Amino acid sequence: MGSNEGPSEEIMGAALHKLSLMPLLSIGKVSSLYKTPPWGKTDQAEFLNAVIEADWQDTPEGLLELLLDTEKAFGRRRMMRWGPRTLDMDLLYGENVEKQTEFLKLPHPFLWERLFVLVPFAEIMPCFIFKGQDIQSRIRELGGDKEIVKQEITGKGAYPWQTK
């Protein structure tokens, strides 16, 4: 999940809280928040990003629909590819799940290319292996995490980061 418009920490916390109330979704591990440079379209504000591990008791398409609905509920407007947004939620990876449809591509096609995903992902799954490579060596291969900075918590009531 990511955000670079509005009070990002609060938006992300509220969105995660909303997801935690969904009956078919069980939130597991949640990474810290990371301040990251924009990717793709670089002439915009920095993002806050986090990765969440969850268990979903329905189809992957159903989960993606839930994530897209949650984005809209928090003011997401899709005006340009990789542009600024109040909330962005992607389905990145599903254990033993592969989908290549117009609606859903799993694993996410840019999963292994984006440090803003890999660094928080490695925090909650440090032994993750993809395409025969461990996540730590992939982070080093992409230039390390020099531009990815763990965010200090502001304490404005964001859930769950205010308790970390």
pLDDT in tens, 52-87: 999 999 999 999 999 999 999 998 777 666 668 889
Q: Which residues belong to the active site?
A: 76, 85, 88, 90
How far is the CA of 129 from the CAs of 65, 105, 112, 134, in angstroms? Answer: 27, 19, 10, 4
Mean pLDDT estimate for the chain: 88
* Distance in angstroms (rounded) separating the CA atoms of residues 114 and 126: 16
DSSP 105: E
Structure tokens at 95: 């254990």
* Distance in angstroms (rounded) separating the CA atoms of residues 113 and 86: 23
pLDDT tens for the chain, 164 residues: list them: 999 999 999 999 999 999 999 999 999 999 999 999 887 777 778 999 999 999 999 999 999 999 999 999 998 777 666 668 889 999 999 999 999 999 999 999 999 999 999 999 999 999 999 999 999 999 999 987 788 888 866 555 444 544 43
Collapse the DSSP code of 100 into the 3-class scheme (helix H, G, I; strand E, B; otherwise coil) and give the result.
strand
Closest CA to 153 of 5, 6, 12, 24: 12
Read off φ and ψ for residue 93, nearest 5 degrees: -160, 140
The predicted model scores a pTM of 0.86
Q: How many CB atoms lie under 10 A from the CB of residue 104? A: 17
The end-to-end CA distance of the chain, in Å, is 18
